[in-house]
Chain A
Amino acid sequence: MSAATTDWTRRTAAELADALAAGEVTSVELTQAHLDRIAAVDGDADSGVHAFLHVDAEGALAQARASDERRSAGAPLHALDGVPIAVKDVLATTGLPTTCGSRILEGWVPPYDATVVTKLKAAGLPILGKTNMDEFAMGSSTEHSAYGPTRNPWDLTRIPGGSGGGSAAAVAAYEAPLAIGTDTGGSIRQPGAVTGTVGVKPTYGAVSRYGLVALANSLDQVGPVTRTVLDSALLQDLIGGHDPRDSTSIPQELPSLVEAARQGATGDLTGLKVGVVEELSGDGWQPGVKARFDETVALLVDAGAEVVEVSCPNIVHAIAAYYLVLPAECSSNLAKFDAMRYGVRVLPDGVDAPSAEEVMRASRDAGFGDEVKRRIIIGTYALSSGYYDAYYGQAQKIRTLIARDFDAAFEQVDVLVSPTAPTTAFKLGEKLDDPLAMYAGDLATIPANLAGIPGISVPAGLADEDGLPVGFQVLAPAMADDRVYRVGAAVEALLARTWGGALLAQAPELEEVAR
């Protein structure tokens, strides 16, 4: 056999599902292939991609064996039964640590599975391990992980985006065909954009948040990270749906996303009305990003879409509103980390019989990173009496205004498009001392979270100036996730003609490192 056919890590999830169904490969074989790839390129905090915080070879292989047995008995559980997956370390998993990239949860093994994880297990997907992330999902570069940064497979000196840099890098580096991410202000889409992968933020409530360690509950959403739009559709169809344990989850069923992706893949967009968001395509964007965006819009026109410019004037306030709502909610969420019931406990130096407060103080001091402390303080302040109306209250009003902007825009057009992120992947450490610059990178992704609408980032080519991936974002009204997949799949198909196939194929080969 040739190398191309035996390297199972280069296949998409849909292809792997077909190969498993056709009996060309076993789940054990392809799970092992991905574990081998992880062993070869993932490395650790000092070298390699470092996409994983915990790899569960034994557990994944056991799940793979069970999958193979089901298949030989003629009863696979799901189309993706046997296809391995990586899960962001912010979702609760029994038997596997869940640290949220934080020291304060070091070694914590939850006694329960997140609903999404339960669904993955019930469908027979072996879980390869847990992926790296900015601490408690706070960050846009995965440099705020307490366990060291993840590196961008396109250039190991660069960031993989954040907070889901681990999930995006694992998929981009062929360590996993599928990954689960979470998107609070762009943590799936922005890493997708800078690593050349597909990332989807579903409609708020379309996927259960039960078992997702909350960053900002009213913004968080679980979603897929994959190499193709179809794979994301397969995954969201699997993990989505109502969950009685998450009262914010939507009771209605969404239309089939796989069907929407297949329809979009024909590349025909006749009759589609596309809005280019004026506020998200102007100055300040990296020229290579702007160029790829404009070309992609032109392709949409060629495919039959009608493109108009629309304005969402309140979007300019999105970052300000986001950085009040988010810290407010997270300051409340993180108060439970008191080192008493789970996670690490740090005893204060030089105190003989420390009080509970002293233990908590020492544990939080050692257990939380700077970005987390920064946001806790901002959030506590924003919620405090006398400031609530001026900050949190105002931010909620802006959210309403942004949602109304979107409503108005969606009366004119079917989808809205923009670049996913204003720049390609920057160098590790480059913006670490400038939180505001880091925050500004999420301008295009944050509005969807504030409004609860779905969005996708699809690779749109490489920027001329640095040869790094650029993302193209498609937004649709709440519950119209199928529209996002249809247009995303069309963009993917149209661009494949321009770029001669999958963009990731153009990424440099990774050197093997010792893990």
Chain B
Amino acid sequence: MSTDTLVDFDEALTRYEPALGLEVHVELNTATKMFCGCPATFGGEPNTQVCPTCLGLPGAMPAVNGKAVEAAIRIGLALNCDIAEWCRFARKNYFYPDMPKNFQTSQYDEPIAFDGYMDVDVDGETFRVEIERAHMEEDTGKSTHVGGATGRIHGADHSLVDYNRAGIPLIEIVTRPITGAGAKAPAVARAYVQQLRDLILALGVSEARMDQGNLRADVNLSLAPTGSGVLGTRSETKNVNSFRSIERAVRFEVSRHAGVLDGGGKVVQETRHFHEDTGITTSGREKSDAEDYRYFPEPDLVPVAPSREWVEELRATLPENPTAKRARLQGEWGFTDLEMRDTVGAGAFGLVEETIAAGAAPQAARKWWVAELARRAKDAGVELAEVGVTPVQVAAVQALVDAGTINDKLARQVFDGLVAGEGTPEEIVAARGLAIVSDDGALGAAVDKAIEANPDVAQKIRDGKHAAAGALIGAVMKEMRGQADAGRVRELVLERLA
């Protein structure tokens, strides 16, 4: 389907310098929409959360949601931006079936926040990503094309439009071109969006779920010959909706651009779609510079002029920067850089923090989330937070391990029970009979049985080869279905064969 000639990623980077640009849309979690009083909640029967204003009916007028402005300022401040003393909304005029006014109310040359930065850590190296602007705008509705095989408009026999989402507040955060990342460009793109998401979550202004479209990233990429110091023609890959996909999209576009340039061709400025299944991008529509949105200031809205007092008040209430917080907690927890990276990479940082807060030791908390539970999340294809186990439960399971009631192996069965909703860890241990047996009577009988069944091994131990005890301990554990205190079993074996 694609005629693109791809150049190996690493080879491409021997000749070309990538420039990245990221545009991230954040859907705010305000109670009401950007310009009207309709609920901004996700879902709902189609066209039930609408009014004359968000339907763009003739005569209806917008009024700015103050909470959305507040969220925009907080995001701007957290990204080290300047906050405009005076800014306006503009109309971005273009036609799209799910945009009921046939213009989008957005900010054009007067964004609320501008000139910021975010320091992004990749493999111990820090990249400063410059933020050009963060501006406010409204979301569009959602079209569904019915009757075709592909769900696309071509071949469909009719289309349905749901305007529930029309008018939900969005903040668009636009970076300046990020250069100098070289082969780390895919990782920088991923880490930037990840850190941005952490920040958004820390601010509490959005659910920031990529799978639900609360956070959507457009990835711009261009290549230029190494050392040329110019920017190449860029492609814009729209709505990439996972961290991994962001990384893959950058890799693919580097390979594709290099192929075009190597072949003596010109990269076309266009929007592209990323395909999760194949990891490739395909051409969307060509986007020439001539596209004309006929921006002009929205005459129905008065300018937004946040007072300096208000901005300073908001600055004073900003949460700790997640990156700084991470460095602080890494020190407190005693994690190595690698352990920290794995924790963050698994999306487990916050969960580990909560688990520690619930009483677990840092290493134990990390071990459960990053190994055991991350594997389960991956198998089930869900986010770590949705694996079915809470930080408080993990802490409770670890407490049972610490108390010697269960061991790590048995703990995994407790997690099975938690996922299946069988009750609290204690209830599961009781119901499934998982508690370690340390009663000498029962253990003694099992030890005797093992000695009887393995006379050769028993003789070796009697001869002083204590290392051979492992085989008998294993046999006892097998007999006890793992629910034996291995230390006590060892003692009993050595006692009897002394």
Residues of A within 8 A of B (CB): 91-92, 98, 100, 105, 108, 110-112, 114, 209-214, 216-218, 244-248, 328-329, 331-332, 335-338, 340-342, 356, 380, 383-385, 388, 392
Distance (whole angstroms) from the CB of A322 to the closest CB of chain B = 14
Distance (whole angstroms) from the CB of B73 to the closest CB of chain A = 18
Q: Is the CB of B100 within 8 A of A335?
A: no
Q: What would be 23 A-B contacts, judged by CB atoms less than 8 Å apart?
A: A92-B52, A92-B57, A92-B59, A98-B58, A100-B58, A105-B58, A108-B58, A110-B57, A112-B60, A114-B59, A213-B59, A218-B299, A246-B63, A247-B63, A247-B64, A247-B301, A328-B296, A335-B101, A335-B102, A336-B56, A336-B58, A356-B97, A385-B294
Contact A247/B300 with A336-B100, A336-B101 known, Cβ cut-off 8 Å = yes
B9: interface (CB < 8 Å): no
Q: Is the CB of B59 within 8 A of A335?
A: no
- Give the distance in Å from the alpha carbon of A331 to the alpha carbon of B296 in the complex: 12
Q: Is the CB of B57 within 8 A of A335?
A: no
Residues of chain B within 8 A of A340, CB atoms compared: 97
Chain B interface, number of residues (Cβ within 8 angstroms): 30
In the complex, which residue of chain A has the Cβ closest to the Cβ of B56? A336
Distance (whole angstroms) from the CB of A358 to the closest CB of chain B = 14
Q: Is the CB of B95 within 8 A of A335?
A: yes
Residues of chain B within 8 A of A209, CB atoms compared: 61, 300
Distance (whole angstroms) from the CB of A251 to the closest CB of chain B = 10
Distance (whole angstroms) from the CB of B83 to the closest CB of chain A = 20
In the complex, which residue of chain B has the Cβ closest to the Cβ of A380? B294
Distance (whole angstroms) from the CB of B9 to the closest CB of chain A = 37
Distance (whole angstroms) from the CB of A390 to the closest CB of chain B = 14
Closest 7 CB pairs of A and B: A335-B102, A217-B299, A218-B299, A383-B294, A213-B58, A92-B59, A211-B59
Contact of B63 among A244, A329, A336, A383 (CB under 8 A): A244
In the complex, which residue of chain A has the Cβ closest to the Cβ of B97? A356
- Give the distance in Å from the alpha carbon of A9 to the alpha carbon of B7 in the complex: 86
Q: Is the CB of A210 within 8 A of B60?
A: yes
Q: Is the CB of A341 within 8 A of B55?
A: yes
Contact A112/B57 with A247-B62, A335-B93 known, Cβ cut-off 8 Å = yes
Contact of B292 among A331, A384, A392 (CB under 8 A): A384
- Give the distance in Å from the alpha carbon of A441 to the alpha carbon of B364 in the complex: 84
Among B56, B62, B295, B300: residue with most chain A CB under 10 A: B300
Q: Is the CB of B61 within 8 A of A210?
A: yes
In the complex, which residue of chain B has the Cβ closest to the Cβ of A219? B299
B103: interface (CB < 8 Å): yes
Q: Is the CB of A111 within 8 A of B52?
A: yes
- Give the distance in Å from the alpha carbon of A392 to the alpha carbon of B294 in the complex: 11
What 1/0 flags go to B36-66 for Cβ under 8 Å of A?
A: 0000000000000001110111111111100
Distance (whole angstroms) from the CB of A118 to the closest CB of chain B = 12
Among B93, B103, B294: residue with most chain A CB under 10 A: B294
Among B61, B93, B299: residue with most chain A CB under 10 A: B61
Contact of B59 among A212, A337, A384 (CB under 8 A): A212
Residues of chain B within 8 A of A112, CB atoms compared: 51-52, 57, 60
- Give the distance in Å from the alpha carbon of A110 to the alpha carbon of B51 in the complex: 12
Q: Is the CB of A111 within 8 A of B57?
A: yes
Contact of A336 among B64, B102, B299, B301 (CB under 8 A): B102
Q: Is the CB of B63 within 8 A of A332?
A: no
What 1/0 flags go to B89-103 for Cβ under 8 Å of A?
A: 001010101001111
Q: Is the CB of A329 within 8 A of B100?
A: no
B357: interface (CB < 8 Å): no
Q: Is the CB of B292 within 8 A of A385?
A: yes
In the complex, which residue of chain A has the Cβ closest to the Cβ of B64? A247
B302: interface (CB < 8 Å): yes
Residues of chain A within 8 A of B294, CB atoms compared: 331-332, 380, 383-385, 388
Residues of chain A within 8 A of B102, CB atoms compared: 335-336, 338
Contact A332/B296 with A247-B302, A248-B302 known, Cβ cut-off 8 Å = yes
- Give the distance in Å from the alpha carbon of A332 to the alpha carbon of B95 in the complex: 11
- Give the distance in Å from the alpha carbon of A45 to the alpha carbon of B237 in the complex: 56
Besides the contacts A338-B95, A383-B93, what 19 more A-B pairs have beta carbons closer than 8 Å?
A91-B59, A105-B58, A108-B58, A112-B57, A214-B59, A217-B300, A218-B299, A245-B53, A247-B61, A247-B64, A248-B300, A248-B302, A329-B296, A332-B93, A332-B294, A335-B103, A336-B101, A356-B97, A383-B294
In the complex, which residue of chain A has the Cβ closest to the Cβ of B91? A332
Distance (whole angstroms) from the CB of B159 to the closest CB of chain A = 8
Among A110, A335, A380, A383: residue with most chain B CB under 10 A: A335
Among A108, A211, A392: residue with most chain B CB under 10 A: A211
Residues of chain B within 8 A of A342, CB atoms compared: 57-58
Residues of chain B within 8 A of A212, CB atoms compared: 59
Residues of chain A within 8 A of B51, CB atoms compared: 112
Q: Is the CB of B301 within 8 A of A211?
A: no
- Give the distance in Å from the alpha carbon of A66 to the alpha carbon of B299 in the complex: 39
Q: Is the CB of B60 within 8 A of A211?
A: yes
Q: Is the CB of A110 within 8 A of B296?
A: no
Q: Is the CB of B58 within 8 A of A92?
A: yes
Distance (whole angstroms) from the CB of A125 to the closest CB of chain B = 20
- Give the distance in Å from the alpha carbon of A335 to the alpha carbon of B296 in the complex: 15
- Give the distance in Å from the alpha carbon of A248 to the alpha carbon of B297 in the complex: 13
What 1/0 flags go to B105-128 for Cβ under 8 Å of A?
A: 000000000000000000000000
- Give the distance in Å from the alpha carbon of A11 to the alpha carbon of B102 in the complex: 46
Residues of chain B within 8 A of A211, CB atoms compared: 59-60
Residues of chain A within 8 A of B302, CB atoms compared: 247-248
Residues of chain B within 8 A of A336, CB atoms compared: 56, 58, 100-102
In the complex, which residue of chain B has the Cβ closest to the Cβ of A115? B61
Distance (whole angstroms) from the CB of B254 to the closest CB of chain A = 31
Residues of chain A within 8 A of B53, CB atoms compared: 245
Residues of chain B within 8 A of A213, CB atoms compared: 58-59
Contact of A388 among B64, B95, B296 (CB under 8 A): B296
- Give the distance in Å from the alpha carbon of A383 to the alpha carbon of B296 in the complex: 7
Distance (whole angstroms) from the CB of A83 to the closest CB of chain B = 25
Residues of chain B within 8 A of A341, CB atoms compared: 55, 100
Residues of chain A within 8 A of B299, CB atoms compared: 216-218, 248, 329
Interface hits, B276-292 → A, CB 8 Å: 290, 292
- Give the distance in Å from the alpha carbon of A218 to the alpha carbon of B53 in the complex: 18
Residues of chain B within 8 A of A214, CB atoms compared: 59, 300
Distance (whole angstroms) from the CB of B103 to the closest CB of chain A = 6
Residues of chain B within 8 A of A332, CB atoms compared: 91, 93, 103, 294, 296
Residues of chain A within 8 A of B61, CB atoms compared: 209-210, 245-247
Residues of chain B within 8 A of A100, CB atoms compared: 58
Distance (whole angstroms) from the CB of A191 to the closest CB of chain B = 21
- Give the distance in Å from the alpha carbon of A332 to the alpha carbon of B99 in the complex: 13
Distance (whole angstroms) from the CB of B24 to the closest CB of chain A = 26
- Give the distance in Å from the alpha carbon of A340 to the alpha carbon of B296 in the complex: 25
Interface hits, B296-323 → A, CB 8 Å: 296, 299-302
Among B53, B58, B60, B63: residue with most chain A CB under 10 A: B58
- Give the distance in Å from the alpha carbon of A229 to the alpha carbon of B101 in the complex: 38
Distance (whole angstroms) from the CB of A289 to the closest CB of chain B = 33
Residues of chain B within 8 A of A247, CB atoms compared: 61-64, 300-302
Distance (whole angstroms) from the CB of B90 to the closest CB of chain A = 10
Distance (whole angstroms) from the CB of B139 to the closest CB of chain A = 17
Among B56, B63, B64: residue with most chain A CB under 10 A: B63
Residues of chain B within 8 A of A108, CB atoms compared: 58
Residues of chain A within 8 A of B57, CB atoms compared: 92, 110-112, 342
In the complex, which residue of chain B has the Cβ closest to the Cβ of A337? B58
- Give the distance in Å from the alpha carbon of A211 to the alpha carbon of B61 in the complex: 7
- Give the distance in Å from the alpha carbon of A229 to the alpha carbon of B62 in the complex: 33
- Give the distance in Å from the alpha carbon of A216 to the alpha carbon of B55 in the complex: 20
Residues of chain A within 8 A of B62, CB atoms compared: 247
- Give the distance in Å from the alpha carbon of A149 to the alpha carbon of B496 in the complex: 116
Among B60, B103, B296: residue with most chain A CB under 10 A: B296
Residues of chain B within 8 A of A244, CB atoms compared: 63
Residues of chain A within 8 A of B91, CB atoms compared: 332
In the complex, which residue of chain B has the Cβ closest to the Cβ of A104? B58
- Give the distance in Å from the alpha carbon of A329 to the alpha carbon of B295 in the complex: 11
